[in-house]
Amino acid sequence: MGAAFFYHLTRRPLQETLPVLLEKARGAGWRIAVRGREPDRMAWLDERLWLGGEESFLPHGLAGGPHDALQPILLTTGAEAANNPACVMAVDGAEVSPDEVQALERVCILFDGTDPDAVQHARIQWKALTDAGCSAQYWSEESGRWEKKAEK
């Protein structure tokens, strides 16, 4: 049974935080699906991940390509990911179900702490997932480093 980790982004934007979390998930040996809501935003993230440089190379692909099933990291807007992920990283308010949290090793929900709508949506997701019996942790970078602020 997995857990949902909520990451409240207040100091670094998504394009800086996501690669760090992807590296950690890859280090655990997991395949990852990065789930967003808008195809254009996922294409933008795809470009940003390629700009990481040699020392932080993250092999990945944008869903819809011929090798989706082989991708260690697949950026998608769909609920189903062809790469059979052990971890889903939901961005920009992408939905995650309690069944997914329980079936996967980890679900990460990254949300922009400067956007009141994103914060409210994350609160709704937290309540829905924990009310369904999912284990959840809330992480904040408010102090300058990541700290676990809540666990349920």
Contacts (Cβ under 8 Å, ≥6 apart) of 145: none
> Digits of tens for pLDDT over the chain (152 positions)?
689 999 999 999 999 999 999 999 999 999 999 999 999 999 999 988 887 655 667 889 999 989 999 999 999 999 989 999 999 999 999 999 999 999 999 999 999 999 999 999 999 999 999 999 999 999 999 888 999 999 99
The answer as to CATH 3.30.390.50 being correct for domain 3-151 is: no
Q: What is the pTM of this model?
A: 0.94
Domain range summary for the chain, segments of one domain joined by +: 3-151
